[in-house]
Amino acid sequence: MGMNRKNILWLSHLLPYPPKGGVMQRSYNLIRELSKYHDVTLLAFNQQAIIPKEKIPGAVEHFKVFCKCVEIFDIASENSTFLKIFALIRGLFLGNTYNTIWLESSEYERRLTEKLQQEKFDLIHVDTISLVPFVKNLNHLKRSLNHHNIESLMM
């Protein structure tokens, strides 16, 4: 029984490599298994506390074994204490939470727009609630949302 391969765009707040425990292991294995049956494009932010910049090329090469395309983006607030504090303050005064603005990136948004213009995706998978601002206006596309923790309980 044959299955039609779907084209899936996976948006992630981290590059889940190496797959050691928790979110890393879960995301890594979901992407790897999904890619056995579908074409997966991964657009991921890199959290430097998880993968130092010098290890990104090796991680990208690893994912390219099973992903159609892998692109990694820096998190601006990780490169600047000012931007991190600014995001926290903006969250307090604009009614947003830090969780929904810490990944703001014009580069990521631009690349996502380009990808959506270049290819037809059958599904956009959003791997954390922090990435919802990038897809909230894409109502004409199928989207799925995953979140690894119940943040309200963790608070």
Each residue's pLDDT tens digit, 5-54? 999 999 999 999 999 888 899 999 999 999 999 999 999 999 988 888 89
Q: Can the peptide bond before residue 133 be classed as cis, meaning omega within 30 degrees of 0?
A: no
Strand partners for 144:
125
Each residue's pLDDT tens digit, 73-121? 998 777 767 666 666 666 667 666 766 777 889 999 999 999 999 999 9
102 CB-contact burial (10 Å; exposed 0-12 / middle 13-18 / buried 19+)? buried
Over 50: is that where the pLDDT of 155 sits?
no
The superfamily CATH assigns to domain 7-75+104-154 is HAD superfamily/HAD-like (3.40.50.1000)
**Backbone angle region of 95, left / alpha / beta, with phi > 0 → left and psi within -120 to 50 → alpha:** left
Per-residue pLDDT at 1: 43
List Cβ neighbours of 109 (8 Å cut-off, separation of 6 or more): 134
Per-residue pLDDT at 103: 86
Per-residue pLDDT at 64: 96
**So where are the chain's domains?**
7-75+104-154
